[in-house]
Structure 1
Amino acid sequence: MFAQFKTLPQLFDFFKDEATCMAYWEQVRWNGNPTCPHCQAENPYKTNRGYKCRNVECQKKFSLITGSIFENTKMPLRTWFGAMYLCANHKKGISSLQLSRDLGIHQKSAWFLLHRIRETFKEIDPETLGGSGVMVETDTTIVGGKVKNMSNKKRKAILEDKSKRNDNKTNVSAYIERGGKIRFDVVDASENEPDLLRKHVDTESVLMTDTANTYVKVGKEFAHHGSVDHSKSEYCRDSVYHTNTIEGAFSHFDRMVIGVYHNISRKHMQAYCNESAYRYNTRKAEQTNRFENTVAKAAGVRLKYVALTGKA
């Protein structure tokens, strides 16, 4: 990579025009070797508007932004790069309202743009966390407002029908390697914690949890299962048995939800979880490197408005 900046003004000075942005994106995506995004054939024809595939079975036309999160965008890449820098480097995220004010775009455009950026934060074919001798902590948090803070209409409906009390609550499970990566997973009604634990954590790992009943049986499948009893004010034992690492990660996640986004629907919860996990997993990276890594992940990712909202 050849970007040299540490602040947003320096970024806009570096990407001074659309030609510079396109040259940078071409270097990041193809590194001097253009490839057809439809069939992966190399050495395409160059046309006035982009490229045309040489493969006889394909022969499709494409451009630099085809098959990426930038496809069909009407915003300049300079705006995109500014948004990606802010979204990746703000410690607790950035709201669509704030981004619209910072970049001078409409709030709805900023909201859609942020969701497309979050699509690049998703892990592709993730491997299980942990391994032989690696300590992995797991816990579950509940995201959703308190009844007393709801509007009078919602509060009245819940008081009349107690079954609606948890309608605005979303269970989010997290798994973290001590000193390593974290992964969040929104718990669906058809899933349970033991199955998710087997899915995300290697059974050769050393598992650390609290004393919740859901971990008792499945914990026997791991190399070792240690726990602390929070109900007895036990938070650390022998400097090894604790869940303080994941509690600290949850505190960052809660600050993102409460302090920046305030209210997140269950439909989009996983996208915000991926965003929080991405920033946590790249916490030791420099801001420029995190930005460049985000841009590099933009290829091969596409999120259409209709798929995001269900509206044409």
Structure 2
Amino acid sequence: MTQHFLLSAQARTISLKAVFTMGEDKAYETFRQMRWPETDGEAVCPRCGCVEAYEISTRRRFKCVGCHHQFSVTSGTIFASRKLSFTDLLAAIVIFVNGAKGVSALQVSRDLDVQYKTAFVLSHKLREAMAREQAGRQLNGIVEIDGGYFGGYVKPENRKEDRKDRRLKANSSGKRQCVVIMRERKGRSLPFIVRNEGDAVPFVRDCVGTLATIHADEGAGWDALHAGWDTHRINHSVLFMDKGVCTNQAESYFSRLRRAEVGTHHHIAGPYLHQYAGEMAWREDNRRVPNGTQAAMVADAVMASGVSRAWKGYWQRAA
């Protein structure tokens, strides 16, 4: 019997032991190579683009010859104004990608010996960088579409006679949101957040090619898809697959997201649901990629991303 990829040595190409034994200097050089791959790690001014810069080695900073601007390897990136060492940043990325269902900020804070606030913001910055891969994505081929509702939990009353039917809209908290996933049968995923499943149709028009074939369930919100695409439906109350028509890939995504919500994070606040949804889509798309390659992908995305306007100074303002 063939060994499962995730159980093989090919899936484990980087470890925390390797990160902490490489030392600060080698971690710093790794970030330089990722920031400026075109110049083989030689500094390029982020302000004027000049390729000539003095290196202030005592502070690990550079000074541009053209505009005299001082900058570091993380200036203008998501890690701008960082205080953690490069070894800790690289270790945080490895810890983050190694979690199959995500990693809680509390665990990151304990593993790196940093405050919870630091781990929380750092994890969200990594999620923001991961979302770059999904920006402007166009899906084609066989695309499975499904929606799942998250958040808005209403705790039942203690006494049975006081309990209400929480399935009714009148008894809901009003905070429940729908995560809609569009997933190619052999490829990429694209999640987004709406109030109700049927509200996702305009997003489908923007992100799914007109020649694609759509597989969806019996939900009434997907009836409008028949007007624009070759759409096949599956009634889950009768069967889960019919002659190749199914939404199993979409259900696999929701399984990972729900396990992350219930088992890892325990609670996901509504304003941040889109970031967790994007993270789980990234994990699903790259689940057969070695963890070393995953870490490199996230690090490349971090160094290619601009300063996070959502998370820079998060705890210093009224968020």
- Measured against the shorter chain, the TM-score band is 0.7 to 0.9
TM-score, normalised by the number of residues in structure 2? 0.83
- CA shift, 1:33, in A, is 3.4
TM-score, normalised by the number of residues in structure 1? 0.85
| Separation (CA, whole Å) in 1 of partners of 2:143 and 2:316 | 35
1:38–1:149: structure 2 CA closer, same or farther, 3 Å change rule?
farther
Secondary structure in structure 2 of the residue aligned to 1:237: coil
1:36–1:150: structure 2 CA closer, same or farther, 3 Å change rule?
farther
- Range with greater deviation from structure 2 (247-256 or 295-304): 295-304
| Separation (CA, whole Å) in 2 of partners of 1:307 and 1:194 | 33
Is 1:86 the counterpart of 2:91? The answer is no
Unaligned runs of 5+ residues in structure 1 are none
- For the 8 Å contact 1:116–1:302, the answer to whether it is kept is no
- CA shift, 1:309, in A, is 8.3
| Separation (CA, whole Å) in 2 of partners of 1:263 and 1:163 | 23
Q: Which amino acid aligns with 1:51?
A: F
| Separation (CA, whole Å) in 2 of partners of 1:220 and 1:94 | 41
Is 1:292 the counterpart of 2:296? The answer is yes
2:35 paired residue number: 29
Is 1:66 the counterpart of 2:75? The answer is yes
| Separation (CA, whole Å) in 2 of partners of 1:219 and 1:38 | 50
Q: Which amino acid aligns with 1:261?
A: H
Percent of residue pairs bearing the same amino acid type: 25
- CA shift, 1:288, in A, is 0.8
2:246 paired residue number: 242
| Separation (CA, whole Å) in 1 of partners of 2:25 and 2:158 | 50
Matches within 5 A, 1:189-268: 192-222=199-229, 224-231=230-237, 233-238=238-243, 240-268=244-272
1:270–1:150: structure 2 CA closer, same or farther, 3 Å change rule?
farther
- CA shift, 1:177, in A, is 0.5
List per-residue Cα deviations over 1:122-156 (Å, max 9, x = no partner).
126422111xxx1000011000254235899xx99
Match 2:18 to one of 3, 10, 28: 10
Matches within 5 A, 1:47-196: 47=56, 49=59, 50-55=61-66, 58-123=67-132, 125-130=135-140, 134-144=141-151, 146-148=153-155, 163=170, 165-187=172-194, 192-196=199-203
List per-residue Cα deviations over 1:69-108 (Å, max 9, x = no partner).
2211111121111111111121011111111112211111
1:171–1:310: structure 2 CA closer, same or farther, 3 Å change rule?
farther
1:308–1:135: structure 2 CA closer, same or farther, 3 Å change rule?
farther
Q: Which amino acid aligns with 2:233?
A: S
Query: Aligned residue pairs: how many?
Result: 295
Secondary structure in structure 1 of the residue aligned to 2:81: coil
Secondary structure in structure 2 of the residue aligned to 1:121: helix
- For the 8 Å contact 2:32–2:42, the answer to whether it is kept is no
